[in-house]
Structure 1
């Protein structure tokens, strides 16, 4: 068993149970956690006695609570500052883990309680059963730190209905249970208070196979959450526009009008104006390219992007600056370069899509769907 302070794994009955155990950091993924998850899932994949896997986050006052708030951005910021090559290892191994989960041959059941953002989405979106609660809060807010929705975000956001994926990637909006299910980012609803009993029961049943284990869990969930689901007509209309400039221009024009969508447009435009102008362009292109990609192809593209985010513009990295402003100095005043959406040249964002590696030497060349 993988048993570290940050990752608790055990087999009960015929199910492998994983608890992310870094509650003070909202279970943000460290490199050690990524490596432990990857090793454990590979071992259980080849273990005939393990029929299914279940994963949850821990809370500082006990189990369940926040699933996972993302990757350890403080570590990444310091690693770049120190020239630590583990920043490269982190993304290569994390994306390998994401791919393994998306292609896992056994049921993988994610209890997505509380905050599920960034890296937390990466270890849950590939699950065969994604369970949310009334406390769930799903988001891909990476553009706020000068990054893009990675960990397969291009793949799963691009498969949301209409142009919801562009909206989520650009504006970083959080979703509650009902909308997560409606937009294809979760499968079932379970009241938070019922999670512990179901988790415990899963390890006491006799199952003929993994499908029976998943069916047991699903039979105790509900197909919809308790909250209302918004009308996405305005989202689809605005986020179908061809460029970031067209999107922000339309939002700001509507915000100044007396239309029914004025308040939404104002709030959305304000959210976009807080994000890295350069990375907004990257995100829009990423999601639209990913619509025609497999998961492996998307992760290879994202590995190119993340290398370019941290290192291509070394000395003026949007990502390093965004992490500094949000999580290190916490001044909430990133110095974006360029500072405005209107100032981004097409060549600047297109450069992010040039791979630093020849195809045969790509760090994720071995991934296959």
Structure 2
């Protein structure tokens, strides 16, 4: 009898584990929703509890579906959005990457490689691609939106490339799109991780349209209702909502400070940028100075060179450069330390090595820019 009961409980335990695995598999499958609605393919980043952060599985599934829709003559439009009200996508799942880094560096390299291949696929996509960048949009979230033909911001959009705060660089093609923004705005955003908010995401040239958040559902419905959407009539629908938007119409924080940004961030070295900010002495300049002084000195110097070199490269050349830069960052001190300070212990007091800009030499920088990489990026 005891043996029978033991087998029964063993079976029950096994069945419970299997049910849990099936549930986990279902939950994983639901991390991103890929749906056909009318003539459109709709991508919904579906991890609202973690601000729709990108996992490796999400990146792989979006890429494969994007390629299918691109070849499908009945899919004429692609829309990407985030679930929930807080975020479009706060970036890659950095915490998961840090855990993987301890046991399997190949898996981490695969994540970045697949992510950059997806970024390039969005840029070269032959179907109109509409990104609804409502809410927090950072890092990898910028990468799955900024290369689409249409990017729609709302008054609740918050966009940033904050990688220098975690010992990394503004990747996903940051070296391509940031230096191509007006004046020195991209250099400012890449070095400080400054958060563009609301209409400034449009004013900066990152969003192509601005729509009131309460109209976003109606906008999507109107796009889905198009019988045979072309680039032109998609643009017409977006423009009709854009021109009716009145929220913060005459408000732009960024434009107020463009003279200071252009003047202070025009230098060829981070040390000179700091000197210009000190000389300026305005509350805005002193605030940026305080921010920069908290960033990884190594990341700051890599980022400035990355943006300068990227300004004359193609997107694919930049992504290849960044793939190698990121791999070098992964095996050095500052990236895991930045994650520890920001996301694990949350003490916000990273101990950078080197801790001073003067200690980051040209030889150190050359190490990052000549890093051979592993399983190099191919498109």
> CA–CA distance in 1 between the matches of 2:130 and 2:224?
13
1:71 to 89, 92, 104: 92
Residues 82 and 253 from structure 1, CA distance in 2 versus in 1: closer, same or farther, beyond 3 angstroms?
same
> CA–CA distance in 2 between the matches of 1:153 and 1:35?
21
Secondary structure of the equivalent of 2:73? coil
> CA–CA distance in 2 between the matches of 1:80 and 1:100?
26
The C-alpha deviation readout for 1:259-297, integer Å capped at 9, x for no partner, is xxx211210110001100011000000001000000000
2:267 to 227, 234, 241: 241
2:353 to 337, 346, 360: 337
How far is the alpha carbon of 1:341 from its aligned partner?
1.8
> CA–CA distance in 2 between the matches of 1:153 and 1:91?
14
- Unpaired runs of 5+ residues, structure 2, are 1-27
> CA–CA distance in 2 between the matches of 1:210 and 1:220?
16
2:76 to 39, 51, 69: 51
Secondary structure of the equivalent of 1:274? coil
How far is the alpha carbon of 1:323 from its aligned partner?
0.7
> For residue 132 of structure 2, what is the aligned residue in structure 1?
111
2:146 to 110, 117, 125: 125
1:282 aligns with 2:307: no
Contact 1:279–1:349, Cα closer than 8 Å, also in 2 = no
1:265 aligns with 2:285: yes
1:9 aligns with 2:29: no
> CA–CA distance in 1 between the matches of 2:105 and 2:175?
27
> CA–CA distance in 1 between the matches of 2:66 and 2:239?
22
Where do 4+ consecutive residues of structure 1 move more than 6 Å? none
> CA–CA distance in 2 between the matches of 1:208 and 1:332?
48
**TM-score, scaled relative to structure 1:** 0.90
Residues 345 and 355 from structure 1, CA distance in 2 versus in 1: closer, same or farther, beyond 3 angstroms?
closer
> CA–CA distance in 2 between the matches of 1:363 and 1:39?
20
> For residue 259 of structure 1, what is the aligned residue in structure 2?
none
> CA–CA distance in 2 between the matches of 1:218 and 1:65?
24
> CA–CA distance in 2 between the matches of 1:4 and 1:338?
42
- Within a 5 Å distance, the mapping from 1:212-227 to structure 2 comes to 212-222=233-243, 226=248, 227=251
